[in-house]
Structure 1
Amino acid sequence: PGDCPVCGMDLVEEQNLSTSSTEQWTCPMHLEIIKDEAGSCPICGMDLVPMEPDLSAEDKTYKKLLKKFWIATAFTLPIFLIAMSEMLHNNPLYVLMEQQYWNWIQFALSFPVVFYATWMFFERAYRSIKTWNLNMFTLIGIGAGVAWLFSVVGLLFPDVFPEQFKTESGAVHVYFEAATVILTLVLLGQLLEARAHSKTNSAVKELLKLAPNKAIKIEDGEEVEVSIDEIELNDILKVKPGDKIPVDGVITEGNTSIDESMITGEPIPVNKAVDDKVSSGTINGNQSFLMKAEKVGSDTLLSQIIHMVNDASRSRAPIQNLADKVSGYFVPIVVIISVITFIVWSIWGPEPAYVFALVNAIAVLIIACPCALGLATPMSVMVGVGKGAQNGVLIKNAEALEKMNKVDTLIIDKTGTITEGKPTVETVGAFNDALSEKEVLQYIVSLNTNSEHPLAEATVKYGKERNAEILKSDSFSAVTGKGVEAKIDSKRVALGNPKMMEYAKADITSKMQEEVKSYQKQGKTVSYLAIDKRVLGYVVIGDKIKETSAKAIKALQD
């Protein structure tokens, strides 16, 4: 992977789900940078990262940085301990060897840190200076680099330095620990950034897993199993019970119910018939059907959702533009202050003026590094969008995320969000004396034992708990979007919504509507029972409110 030429951050792979796409890479700090191969950002020098998550590959960037971090830590820790031992009275290390030898050990230990684990920071610093896109890596590279070079010169040519810069043993004070500790801490920041990006990608990967890998295509009347990538527009596909729908399309033959909860959040399947639309990633119910492919590859609804999550994680919040502007002015100002510091100390500082000037100029560069300024906003956006995707919340872009604190009205789905998404029977009633409530329940349960609809299952469970007698039924049929009907004791029995009553030629009187109106106002589902064209009873099905809903709504209000 490469670096962004503007900010130096790792480039990320472009999310592209079309079958003919090639892998692309981009810089998470500068989204306008898109390349066809791994490399570094020409603006900031950061590693480019893949724009499309790879389900089969490990997160190589994170693993590489983790390896470098442990190597840097392993060599930096002893350097730090050696340097800090100078603060101890009668330093025990100097009993073993003179300070000059310990300085050589620090020098040797610093090599893997500087020239392997964190060398990319110096490359980014060089690139930022070359393109004059100064950023935090400019300060890190110059500050840590000069500190390390100063220490090397002091170690190799101690006679160049005056006595004020030497210890009692005659060795020059070195700053290997300052350079390596700073570089290792910055590397830790890069590691955390890569980990955050990896978690966000994992959310996108989970969405990718919703799509099946194979599909059944009808060719010359034969069923042929093909890869999703091989499906073309207008192909006829067969979807079996329990299978995921491979692409977006329209049903050409058959009736079924589709679990669309991955899109709508509704746990209750939706009845589908010929000419109804179906979406990729949703799950077929209990019937096989044929469909014609209308949208494939990156054009499917699932692909668009994945694109939205991926693009949102890399989008820029308005405050991020402000942070970039501040960084754009801040870094060159710090460099100028560092130069001024060197000039002032070299002219008016005590002897040796140039050495004091160099040390203080380095201190300004290192202390002023704006790492948080450049990374905090994009990382918070990336993590926020990824966390939202994992919990079923799709955030359009970073600007929408930033404006969430101004939201005063929230429109949310009821079923499965406020409620548990588990339908249960609340009451069974009779409209007149023609049937008792017990008999109404018998007919309802007898009808629904032939159906696999969640509402039907709820009534069957309710009937079994009350030992309702199941009557023999014949000629059962499900009328998509309306209800069910069958013959029981030679009577035509229908159960469903008002449209089903129209289908059964049974009239719902205004008095009946008034009787169930209170249930409907509460958001409950009312199904009518008709026998031989007469509406005789009803069943009310509700969905219990989650115990956590009231607490969640109060928290949102607060």
Structure 2
Amino acid sequence: MTNDETTLIVNGYQQFVVEGMTCAACVRRVEKAAQSVNGVNSASVNLVTEKINLSTTALNREELFNAVRKIGYKIIDDSGYDKVSKKNNKIHLQKKLLYKSIFALIIACISILLTLFRETLTTSAYISDQLFMLFILSISVPVQFWAGLDFHKKTFIATKTLTTNMNTLITLGTFSAFLYSLLVMFTDFGSININTTVRPLFFDTSNTIIAFVLLGHFLQERTKDATFKEVQLLSELKVDKVRIIEGEKEYEIPVMAVDISDEVIVKPFERISVDGVVINGNSSVEESFLTGESLPMTKTIGETVYAGSLNLEGLLRIRVVKKPEEFVIEKIIQLVEKAISSKVPIQSLVDKISSYFVPFVLLISIITFCFWTIFYSGNSFELALLNSLTVLVIACPCALGLATPIAIVASIGRSASIGLLIKDAAALQKANEVTTFIFDKTGTLTTGNPSITNIKKNHLFLNSKIDENSMIQLIASCERGSNHPFAKAILALAEKNDIELLWPEEFKTIEGLGIEAKVKSHHIIIGNKNLMDKNKITVTQKYLDDIRVKDIHKNSLIFISIDYDFFGTLHLEDPLKDTSISAVTQLLEQGRKVTLLTGDDENIAKKIATKIGGINWISGASPSEKMNYIKKQQANGEIVAMIGDGANDAPSLALADLSIFIPNNIESISKIAHVTIINNNLNIINELIAISHKTVKIIKQNLIWAFLYNIMLIPIATGIGYFLFSDSTSMQVPQYLLPIINEDGFLNPMIAAFAMAMSSVSVIINSMRLRNS
């Protein structure tokens, strides 16, 4: 990175990689350091992703990097790294952990066996005790100072800043055992064990602790990768290089260097690298990451294709229509990365508790050492050392730090793989708490692709010069300025009848009611019955009764006024989505309330509600009336989810406790809604609830396990079992516990190290169940 880049002033949302974090205490420390930098509005660090997410204004990156570096961590911008480099770095880290853990485990096993048979070996004529000790020291030095070097480095850095972390516990524990053993070797320090003629060494203990912790870290990295699988698959859909065509020349450039109107070539079985339009060729294209369907889509000239899709057979020539940062896949990945880096409310409390955890453990270890040194009558120093060391290595702040974020990563990744984009962890948690689901109609419960089935003219309309085709020209010209699904149907009718469109002289949207415009000096009003009433345009009861009898099976009516005279109605059919009835039925079966909230006519709302069955309905609702209804439900204690396509319900989506956005095209991914369903499948709402329920359940399990593990095992590590199983009591340690706790009730520090290593892995494995939810 050049100096110019590091001093660049940047605004908005920023994400960087943070290296060197090991536990939740590190997370809190990095957040505090980042928030102290001018220009940082908020900072959120995720231990699982090892990333920091910042909301910034006028931030000097060099100042940020220095602030984090001062507290012992490294912050880097990996946006310039390609996928291969990132993957290779991850593989290198895992290999290093694996090799070190295997080496340490081999040495640990050798040192344990040698220690067990020490007296037998040293009483023979072939080896002296001094030579034995020198040999076991020589094989232990590489474990302590090579395999365990990363722990000691991070402890040293933390100590320089007067802080502590998980590495502090490991370094103190292993160095205590190692240095004690050195003192025994080269001085008269230490006591001779009962029933033996030698003073004890603890090289085997320090070797085993380092071996188990390294093995735990390796398994942690591997299982984290498995949890990340769906998120990683999204990133792997991106293509780094693009094949550009200029005239007869063909050459490759980085995707990020591509520009709008560039033409690219995609060969069979290659991933499409850009969002664009096919200008030559045809092929079958697999877009499962967008649609959730594995069946390929046929793409021909003029059709849109998306970066990340797989070209299955033909040669495609594509014209780029967006800048790389605006590609749909980029938006999806950005949303997912922000979501997995977010936190549920309880995580802040866990991080705060964890920041005091290591100092608390150090205090308990010191108290343990002092207690057994003073009150134990036997080899008190060795026992006190072992017990205090056991306290240091059994404590596991890692499990606390991973309990929540690892579950969030797994569930967000799983959700993205089925076309469900969740904005943040809080929204994921809220989904299971929703008691009332409110649906918009058009484009939400219905397909949003209505067709005009009938045009019913008012026989009292006075202007005889305006026939049906003239009316279509006027209203279609007005609808050029609207993005409502009904506008598309009107424009399609004009195109079908080969009617030339005009540009409106004036145009205004009346939210939730319709539009007003001026075309060829005619004042046009198009919308629902309420809009006619608002403008005092008379629609006779006879006319209403007549159209409702004849068109009882149709879904929607559009009322048309020309020059404040009622012209008639367009009759549209907008069928229910295939998944509407099943999705709502499942919600009702769960005991949740469902309401249809629409601006449409009463009879139409009633017909839709009857067809679905078992739901409440409210018709003729304006945007403000929709908002008032939501407020009323919330005031009654309901937790409200609003589901809509954003056409007329943006204010209601913003007001709801949970907003679920169903875009009418793939490219309309909302950055505001809590949840976006990109494949139009309403059944995914129930998938969302299931994932939310299981995520919350697993987070609770992880936290209970992490807290109980520390609350239960730290007291055992202090030696509390002695008061239950010593000679002065009648109780004995059960046979099956003897490999873990000795006959006096003291916990083996090597077993403590194994338990600590596995506690983090167990949290990750538990969270991996979310991948199959």
Class of the TM-score when normalised by the shorter of the 2 chains? 0.5 to 0.7
Q: Does 1:322 align with 2:353?
A: no
Render the CA deviation track for 1:10-36: whole Å, top value 9, x for unaligned. Answer: x9xxxxxxxxxxxxx997557269999
Whether the aligned pair in 2 keeps the contact of 1:346 and 1:354 (CA below 8 Å) is yes
Give the Cα separation in 1 of the matches to 2:214 and 2:92: 16
Which of 65, 68, 72 in structure 1 is aligned with 2:97? Answer: 65
Match of 1:171, SS?
Answer: coil
Give the Cα separation in 2 of the matches to 1:54 and 1:402: 31
Whether the aligned pair in 1 keeps the contact of 2:280 and 2:316 (CA below 8 Å) is no
Which of 189, 201, 206 in structure 2 is aligned with 1:160? Answer: 189
Whether the aligned pair in 1 keeps the contact of 2:343 and 2:425 (CA below 8 Å) is yes
Give the Cα separation in 2 of the matches to 1:149 and 1:48: 36
Please say which of residues 105-114 and 385-394 is displaced more in the overlay: 385-394
Whether the aligned pair in 2 keeps the contact of 1:45 and 1:128 (CA below 8 Å) is no
Q: Does 1:134 align with 2:164?
A: yes
Which of 291, 299, 302 in structure 2 is aligned with 1:264? Answer: 291
Give the Cα separation in 2 of the matches to 1:78 and 1:382: 40
TM-fit CA distance, 1:42: 5.6
Give the Cα separation in 1 of the matches to 2:356 and 2:132: 41
Give the Cα separation in 2 of the matches to 1:288 and 1:255: 6
TM-fit CA distance, 1:156: 2.1
Give the Cα separation in 2 of the matches to 1:64 and 1:188: 11
TM-fit CA distance, 1:382: 4.0
> Which amino acid in 1 is paired with 2:159?
I
Whether the aligned pair in 2 keeps the contact of 1:139 and 1:369 (CA below 8 Å) is no
Whether the aligned pair in 1 keeps the contact of 2:177 and 2:206 (CA below 8 Å) is yes
Give the Cα separation in 2 of the matches to 1:49 and 1:76: 39
In the alignment, which residue of structure 2 is the partner of 1:541? none
In the alignment, which residue of structure 2 is the partner of 1:22? none
In the alignment, which residue of structure 1 is the partner of 2:220? 193
> Which amino acid in 1 is paired with 2:104?
A
Render the CA deviation track for 1:180-233: whole Å, top value 9, x for unaligned. Answer: 2222221122112222344466645533443445545454x5453432437443
Q: Does 1:106 align with 2:136?
A: yes
In the alignment, which residue of structure 1 is the partner of 2:253? 227
Q: Does 1:31 align with 2:52?
A: yes
Give the Cα separation in 2 of the matches to 1:524 and 1:160: 81
Which of 27, 38, 54 in structure 1 is aligned with 2:83? Answer: 54
Q: Does 1:150 align with 2:171?
A: no
Render the CA deviation track for 1:466-486: whole Å, top value 9, x for unaligned. Answer: xxxxxxxxxxxxxxxxxxxxx
Whether the aligned pair in 2 keeps the contact of 1:249 and 1:293 (CA below 8 Å) is yes
* Structure 1 residues 373 and 55: alpha-carbon distance in aligned structure 2, compared to 1, 3 A threshold: same
In the alignment, which residue of structure 1 is the partner of 2:631? none
> Which amino acid in 2 is paired with 1:117?
A
In the alignment, which residue of structure 2 is the partner of 1:291? 319
Give the Cα separation in 2 of the matches to 1:411 and 1:245: 38
* Structure 1 residues 289 and 347: alpha-carbon distance in aligned structure 2, compared to 1, 3 A threshold: closer
* Structure 1 residues 398 and 190: alpha-carbon distance in aligned structure 2, compared to 1, 3 A threshold: farther
In the alignment, which residue of structure 2 is the partner of 1:3? 20
Whether the aligned pair in 2 keeps the contact of 1:215 and 1:246 (CA below 8 Å) is yes
* Structure 1 residues 94 and 246: alpha-carbon distance in aligned structure 2, compared to 1, 3 A threshold: same
Match of 2:201, SS?
Answer: coil
In the alignment, which residue of structure 2 is the partner of 1:237? 263
Q: Gaps (5+ residues) in structure 2?
A: 1-17, 31-44, 55-60, 440-488, 499-547, 556-572, 580-682, 695-773
* Structure 1 residues 116 and 409: alpha-carbon distance in aligned structure 2, compared to 1, 3 A threshold: farther
TM-fit CA distance, 1:68: 1.0
RMSD: 5.4
Match of 1:126, SS?
Answer: helix
* Mapping for residues 79-98 of structure 1, pairs under 5 Å: 79-84=111-116
TM-fit CA distance, 1:43: 4.2
Give the Cα separation in 2 of the matches to 1:340 and 1:333: 11
Whether the aligned pair in 1 keeps the contact of 2:121 and 2:127 (CA below 8 Å) is no
> Which amino acid in 1 is paired with 2:351?
D
Aligned-residue sequence identity (percent) comes to 28
Whether the aligned pair in 2 keeps the contact of 1:44 and 1:127 (CA below 8 Å) is yes
Whether the aligned pair in 1 keeps the contact of 2:276 and 2:318 (CA below 8 Å) is no
Match of 1:31, SS?
Answer: strand
Match of 1:69, SS?
Answer: helix
Match of 1:55, SS?
Answer: helix
TM-fit CA distance, 1:72: 1.1
TM-fit CA distance, 1:150: 1.0
In the alignment, which residue of structure 2 is the partner of 1:416? none
Which of 278, 281, 304 in structure 1 is aligned with 2:331? Answer: 304
* Structure 1 residues 501 and 66: alpha-carbon distance in aligned structure 2, compared to 1, 3 A threshold: same
Match of 2:83, SS?
Answer: coil
* Structure 1 residues 402 and 498: alpha-carbon distance in aligned structure 2, compared to 1, 3 A threshold: closer
* Structure 1 residues 239 and 99: alpha-carbon distance in aligned structure 2, compared to 1, 3 A threshold: same
Q: Does 1:247 align with 2:277?
A: no
Whether the aligned pair in 1 keeps the contact of 2:243 and 2:264 (CA below 8 Å) is yes
Render the CA deviation track for 1:492-544: whole Å, top value 9, x for unaligned. Answer: xxxxx9999987779xxx99999999x9967579xxxxxxxxxxxxxxxxxxx
TM-fit CA distance, 1:146: 0.8
* Mapping for residues 344-493 of structure 1, pairs under 5 Å: 344-345=371-372, 350=377, 357-386=384-413, 394-403=421-430, 405-406=432-433
Give the Cα separation in 2 of the matches to 1:177 and 1:405: 50
Render the CA deviation track for 1:391-436: whole Å, top value 9, x for unaligned. Answer: 6655544444555554668999xxxxxxxxxxxxxxxxxxxxxxxx
Whether the aligned pair in 2 keeps the contact of 1:215 and 1:237 (CA below 8 Å) is no
Whether the aligned pair in 1 keeps the contact of 2:108 and 2:204 (CA below 8 Å) is yes
Whether the aligned pair in 2 keeps the contact of 1:214 and 1:225 (CA below 8 Å) is no
Whether the aligned pair in 2 keeps the contact of 1:75 and 1:112 (CA below 8 Å) is no
> Which amino acid in 2 is paired with 1:173?
P
* Structure 1 residues 358 and 244: alpha-carbon distance in aligned structure 2, compared to 1, 3 A threshold: closer
> Which amino acid in 1 is paired with 2:332?
I
* Structure 1 residues 409 and 226: alpha-carbon distance in aligned structure 2, compared to 1, 3 A threshold: farther
TM-fit CA distance, 1:336: 2.0
Match of 1:304, SS?
Answer: helix
Render the CA deviation track for 1:343-378: whole Å, top value 9, x for unaligned. Answer: 455556648766665444334323334342234444
TM-score computed with the length of structure 1 as normaliser: 0.59
Whether the aligned pair in 2 keeps the contact of 1:260 and 1:269 (CA below 8 Å) is yes
In the alignment, which residue of structure 2 is the partner of 1:426? none
Render the CA deviation track for 1:58-89: whole Å, top value 9, x for unaligned. Answer: 31111111111111111111222334558xxx
Match of 2:52, SS?
Answer: coil
* Structure 1 residues 254 and 207: alpha-carbon distance in aligned structure 2, compared to 1, 3 A threshold: same
In the alignment, which residue of structure 1 is the partner of 2:211? 184
TM-score computed with the length of structure 2 as normaliser: 0.44
Larger RCO, structures 1/2 (Cα 8 Å, 6+ apart): 2
> Which amino acid in 2 is paired with 1:294?
K
Give the Cα separation in 2 of the matches to 1:194 and 1:47: 20
Match of 1:78, SS?
Answer: helix
